[in-house]
């Protein structure tokens, strides 16, 4: 099926997954039925509204939340900005955002835009200490705490459900890296997800806001079906995103177990076969499909280029600034090697042959790059 199968050697699903077959089928069917304005009372408008409501119900069911807590946005970044800044605007006290040092750039930019932020350090696996988060959150100037569900770059799962925050300090959780692949953690007031990371269409984000959360729209509003959203709803896309999410959740037990075993293979082989390499992130409590390692004396751009020439698409640099190949703030916060880093993220149909093929070529690629500088 054209468009639903990843290119051979594509090991970068954390950036974007190919369209799930379930999403493609629903998308094509909805294009002719979901074009109208869902606010209108005529037949086409009523049908569009029904499809939009179905997408919201399906998404809520897959995530274990209420349908009225689900808002569709134009992207995961927009959902993140809306969720975090809406909690800041609705805060009962202070204006300071306490956040982990390894948050995605979408969170970091929102914090910078809002005015004041404070980073909580992480350990060498990239995980925050719940006690440290609480110690900072109890201060009267703190408005919101932001801790991601799992890290986009190294895969480490954060202890979101164990954060013991004061009752008047809400938690924002960027769940873009894990939504669909892992169950949502508990304790958040608002959370964000991104459909293209679970096999839905690009251009669909999911904002979740708990019913009792003190959230106020931080941006100018719009007269749409959902008061938290702005702009004309892309109903075929959100319906396709919901279909993909349902399929991914239904399949995740089997897929996650297979991915976890395949990533273990990569971790073992890279550590054993490539000299001067550091495999980073928690080896157990992690996203099942992600593995990151850094190679000493190797340029990340050179690694990406040489592996791409051999048919392997991988990521290097920060997950949020890879186009500039700047050193990763995540790896810096963890205190590990920041250059020559590679992130593999497996597609849903990845096999042992796929990861073995990558591991077979990697040692020679690293050795070749090092030889260029006399090592």
Helices (H), the chain: 21-30, 43-63, 76-89, 105-114, 130-137, 235-273, 300-309, 329-334, 352-372
Q: Is 320 a catalytic residue?
A: yes
Q: Looking at the DSSP assignment, which residues form a beta bridge with residue 1?
A: none
CB 244 within 8 A of CB 24: no
Residues 6+ apart with CB under 8 A from 360: none
Q: Which two tokens stand for residue 209?
A: 């806001």
Q: What is the CA radius of gyration of the chain?
A: 21
Q: Which two tokens stand for residue 215?
A: 């959230």
Count CB atoms within 10 A of the CB of residue 45.
Answer: 14
The number of helices, as runs of H, and strands, as runs of E, in the chain is: 9, 10
Q: How far apart are CA 61 and CA 63, in angstroms?
A: 5
Catalytic residues, by residue number, are 320
């Amino acid at each position: 099926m054209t468009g639903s199968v990843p290119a051979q050697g594509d090991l970068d699903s954390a950036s974007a997954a190919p369209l799930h077959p379930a999403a493609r089928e629903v998308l094509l069917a909805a294009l002719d039925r979901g074009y109208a304005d869902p606010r209108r009372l005529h037949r086409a408008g009523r049908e569009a509204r029904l499809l939009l409501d179905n997408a919201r119900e399906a998404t809520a069911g897959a995530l274990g939340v209420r349908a009225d807590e689900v808002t569709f946005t134009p992207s995961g970044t927009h959902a993140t900005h809306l969720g975090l800044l809406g909690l800041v605007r609705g805060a009962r006290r202070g204006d300071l955002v306490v956040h982990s040092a390894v948050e995605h750039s979408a969170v970091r930019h929102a914090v910078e835009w809002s005015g004041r932020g404070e980073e909580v350090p992480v350990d060498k696996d990239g995980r925050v200490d719940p006690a440290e988060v609480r110690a900072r959150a109890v201060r009267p100037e703190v408005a919101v705490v932001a801790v991601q569900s799992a890290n986009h770059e190294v895969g480490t799962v954060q202890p979101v459900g164990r954060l013991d925050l004061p009752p008047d300090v809400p938690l924002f959780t960027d769940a873009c890296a894990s939504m669909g692949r892992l169950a949502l953690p508990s304790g958040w007031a608002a959370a964000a997800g991104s459909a293209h990371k679970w096999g839905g269409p690009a251009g669909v984000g999911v904002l979740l806001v708990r019913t009792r959360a003190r959230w106020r729209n931080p941006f100018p509003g719009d007269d749409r079906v959902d008061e938290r959203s702005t702009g004309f709803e892309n109903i075929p896309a959100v319906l396709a995103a919901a279909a993909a999410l349902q399929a991914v959740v239904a399949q995740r037990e089997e897929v996650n177990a297979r991915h976890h075993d395949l990533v273990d293979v990569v971790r073992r082989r890279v550590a054993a076969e490539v000299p001067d390499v550091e495999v980073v992130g928690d080896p157990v409590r992690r996203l099942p499909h992600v593995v990151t390692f850094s190679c000493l004396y190797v340029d990340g751009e050179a690694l990406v280029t040489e592996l791409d020439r051999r048919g392997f698409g991988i990521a290097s640099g920060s997950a949020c600034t890879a186009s500039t190949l700047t050193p990763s703030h995540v790896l810096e916060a963890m205190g590990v090697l920041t250059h020559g880093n590679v992130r593999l993220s497996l597609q849903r149909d990845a096999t042992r042959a796929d990861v073995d093929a990558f591991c077979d070529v990697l040692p020679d690629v690293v050795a070749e790059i090092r030889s260029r500088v006399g090592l």
